[in-house]
Structures are given as C-alpha cells and as structure tokens.
Amino acid sequence: MVRSVNEAALPSRVAMMGGTFDPVHLGHLRSAVELHEALGLDCLHMVPAARSPLRDTPQVTPEDRLALLRLGIGDTPGLVADPRELSRSGPSYSVDTLAELRELYGAEACLVMVLGHDAFLRLPEWRDPQRLFRLANLVVIDRPDHETPWSEALRELMAGREVEDRADLLAVPQGRALHLRLPSRMALSATEVRRRLAAGESVRYLLPEAVESYLLTHGLYRPASA
C-alpha cells in the first residue's frame, strides 16, 4: 500500500514495535518490513526496552541489543532503531514511549502500537492498558504456535475496539485494534536463537549476517564458561 501524491498532506502514519530484541532476528525484521508495506507507514520505530517490567533481565546489555538492532535494520527504508527507552530511567513502559511519540507526531497522526500475538495475550498486565488505546491503535501480528484463548481481562480491554479492515484502523489516530496475518509468518523466536548460540549451534539465516557476525565476534549469548 504506497501512498499517492494526493495523500502526501495526510497526517503521518507511524508505528512503534517495542521489544527486548534479545537479539533481533528475521522474525522481527521481516514482520516490520511487511507491516510497513501493508499499512503504508511513514515510519516504524523499533524500540528496545532498557528493562522490561514483565521479563527477566536480559543477559546482554541494552547498548549491545541496540547495536544489534541497528545492524539488523541497516539501510532498510522506513525502519528506525529508536534508543529512547535506553535514555529513560526505571522500567520501560510502552505507554510512556507512545506518549512521547504522540507528542512528536501530533494529535492527528495515526499512531500504531505493534505486538506479536504472544505479547498481546499479556496486554492486560501492562501499565495503564486503557491509556495505550487513548494514545494509539493496536495491530496484532499473528505468530505460529500462539493459539491460546483470550483471558476475561483481555476480552474486556478489547471490547468494541476490533476492526476487520485496515482502512478502518488507519482512519483514526487511536483507539482501534486489528489482527493481521502477514505473508511471512515466521516460527522464529529470540529464545530459540539464544538456545542455539548457547549450545554452539548455527544461527545462519535466522538473523541478518551483520547481526550474526557482531554477536559471534563479541561472544554474546555464549555460556559463561565458553
């Protein structure tokens, strides 16, 4: 979906994909590219969390995870490695990041928070989930092997927000939600990448080569004794 010249004056379409990116892999990057295309986005911010409130502390520093993300994105048009959560103190809450992006792009912009289905299932546990929808729309990307039923809290949070068509989501600055099945649905997770690295197994073609090369050179994700 490429925007025509006549649409150039329309409000910005911007998305935010937060995550631990521990490390970034082709599941993240290919989803980001396909989402950028599918929604005709101006920009997709990929935002590594300094410290995720709902996860154990990653074994690799935020600075290394950001460096890997930058290498992974390379010169991909429309994708940006956004360091803003690394410069805030305390846990990284998406609601704070969305508030900053709303401030940056203005009230009219269509702002989208992007989540994989696994992350979506835990949305009611996030800080101020109702406010997330006062700041942004939500797009949930289908992932293989995540068919778990919704909790009661999630059903309540989502009531009246879901739209079937991407145009209905893009028509408003915030408040709506859409489930998308992207063309390349990759059964790939950072957990599996870390497991392979710790076991000394190959990660070739699971990550961009520049990412693989950085983490092998710096000995990241190897067991402490290696």
The minimum distance between CB 52 and ligand ATP, in angstroms, equals: 8
| Separation of alpha carbons 115 and 167, rounded Å | 19
The minimum distance between CB 177 and ligand ATP, in angstroms, equals: 14
Q: Which of 72, 116, 129, 208 binds ligand ATP (CB under 6 A)?
A: 116
Q: Which is nearer to ligand ATP, 112 or 141 (CB)?
A: 141
| Separation of alpha carbons 195 and 171, rounded Å | 42
Regarding 141 and contact with ligand ATP (CB under 6 A), the answer is yes
Regarding 143 and contact with ligand ATP (CB under 6 A), the answer is yes
| Separation of alpha carbons 37 and 53, rounded Å | 31
> Of 179-198, which residues contact ligand ATP (CB under 6 A)?
186, 188-191
| Phi, psi torsion values for 138, nearest 5 degrees | -125, 130
137: which 2 tokens? 């729309």
| Separation of alpha carbons 36 and 39, rounded Å | 6
Decide if 38 contacts 1 (C-beta within 8 A): yes
Regarding 66 and contact with ligand ATP (CB under 6 A), the answer is no
Regarding 118 and contact with ligand ATP (CB under 6 A), the answer is yes
Residue, CB closest to ligand ATP = 116
How far CA 209 is from CA of 84, 174, 204, 216, in Å, comes to 26, 37, 7, 10
> Of 19-38, which residues contact ligand ATP (CB under 6 A)?
19-22, 27-28, 31
What one-character DSSP code corresponds to residue 86? G
What order do you get walking across the sheet with 137-141 strand by strand?
79-81, 43-48, 13-19, 110-116, 137-141, 177-180
Q: Which is nearer to ligand ATP, 11 or 76 (CB)?
A: 76
Q: Which is nearer to ligand ATP, 34 or 100 (CB)?
A: 34
The minimum distance between CB 4 and ligand ATP, in angstroms, equals: 29
The minimum distance between CB 154 and ligand ATP, in angstroms, equals: 15
> Total residues at the site for ligand ATP (CB under 6 A)?
19
Residues comprising the chain, all counted:
226
Q: Which residues bind ligand ATP (CB under 6 A)?
A: 17, 19-22, 27-28, 31, 115-116, 118-119, 141, 143, 186, 188-191
